Amino acid sequence: MKKITITIAAIALCAIPAVSGATPPHPGAYVSGFLGVSAPLDTDVTGFAGGPINDRVEFDPSINVGGTGGYDFGLIRLEGEISYKHGEIKSVTDDTGFRFGGVDGNIGALAVMANAFFDLHNATPITPYWGGGIGFAVLKISDTFGNDATGRLLLYPEDDDTVFAYQAGGGVEIAINRQFSLDLGYRYFGTSKATFDSNWPTTTSLKYESHNGMVGFRVKF
């Protein structure tokens, strides 16, 4: 986590000297790639595994990586995005307040999104923007284990589900020249409820939400 943060900060600092002499980017097609940090929100897990499941799950922050391709019309940009967000399961607490020990598991979200962003152009190389998008995400949960008084338990079996996804956010585009620019952004990302039931009669359901910071590099054609 610290290495990711340091890398993002270094990329941003390296771009600052180039900004002073840059000009705002021009409209046109573009591609970009980004790297950042994803912080999944706590979520409720419900289902059945020999009895009702009503757990509260917390996550550790992890990676957010992806790329986009689209067209800048001047005021608005339309783009397609593919991204992957990851979260390590930090703790699982059941509805009695018992917290399982030694929890080991993770969840990933592979998302395909259609986005629209509004650019607030001005006389400087720095262009604020805001917008969002919709699409779908493949949520995959790993085999997740935890300890109770009886020993090591499989809390949630590995499975995946494809669900509706959405995001909203904003940031600033920093023009290096008319072709290249740096993108510093934030996205709130969420999904509808996923149901994992391939190991029936064990089933689990949850919604995935996360805060995501990113540094991107954009190339305009």
Residues β-bridged to residue 47: 53, 204
Give the separation between CA 59 and CA 105, rounded to whole angstroms: 10
Residue type, 184: L
Provide the pLDDT for residue 50: 83
Quote the pLDDT of residue 11: 45
Which pLDDT value is given to residue 20?
A: 42
Rounded CA gap, 58 and 130, in Å?
29
Distance (Å, whole) CA 114 – CA 27 = 19
Residue 140 amino acid letter: K
Residue listed under structure tokens 């998008």: 133
Q: Does domain 2-220 have CATH number 2.40.160.20?
A: yes
**CB count, 10 Å around CB of 166?**
17
Six-digit token string for 161: 């589900």
pTM of the full structure: 0.86
* Residue where the block lists tokens 């604020």: 128
Of the candidates 10, 179, 2, 189, the residue with the CA atom closest to the CA atom of residue 83: 189
For residue 17, give the DSSP letter: H
C-beta separation of 169 from 130 below 8 A: yes
Render each residue's pLDDT in the chain as its tens digit; 221 residues. 545 444 444 444 444 444 444 555 578 999 999 999 999 999 999 999 888 999 999 999 999 999 999 999 989 999 999 999 999 999 999 999 999 999 999 999 999 999 999 999 998 999 999 999 999 999 999 999 999 999 999 999 999 999 999 999 999 999 999 899 999 999 999 999 999 998 888 899 999 999 999 999 999 99
Which tokens go with 164? 């509706």
